[in-house]
Amino acid sequence: MITPEEFLKTEIDMGISFDSEQFVNLANYTAEQMKGYNIATVLDYGAGTGVYADAFHKLGFDVKCFEIWEAHRNYINSKASHLEVINKPVTTDLMLFIEVAEHMTDKEIKALFKKIKPKYILFSSTSESKPEWDELWGHINIKSQNEWVDMFFDFGYKLIKDLSMPTPYTKLFELNG
Q: Rounded mean pLDDT of the chain?
A: 91
Task: Classify domain 4-175 by CATH architecture.
Answer: 3-Layer(aba) Sandwich (3.40)
Least confident of 9-23, 33-47, 125-139: 125-139
Task: Supply the pTM of this predicted model.
Answer: 0.92
The domain limits of the chain are 4-175
Q: What is the percent of the chain where pLDDT is above 90?
A: 74
For residues 136-147, average pLDDT? 70
Q: What is the pLDDT of residue 71?
A: 97
What does the DSSP assignment read for the chain? ---HHHHHHHHHHTT-STT-HHHHHHHHHHHHTTTTSS--EEEEET-TTSHHHHHHHHTT-EEEEE-S-HHHHHHHHHH-TTSEEESS----SEEEEES-GGGS-HHHHHHHHHH---SEEEEE------TTTTTTTT------HHHHHHHHHHTTEEEEEEE-SSSTTEEEEEE--
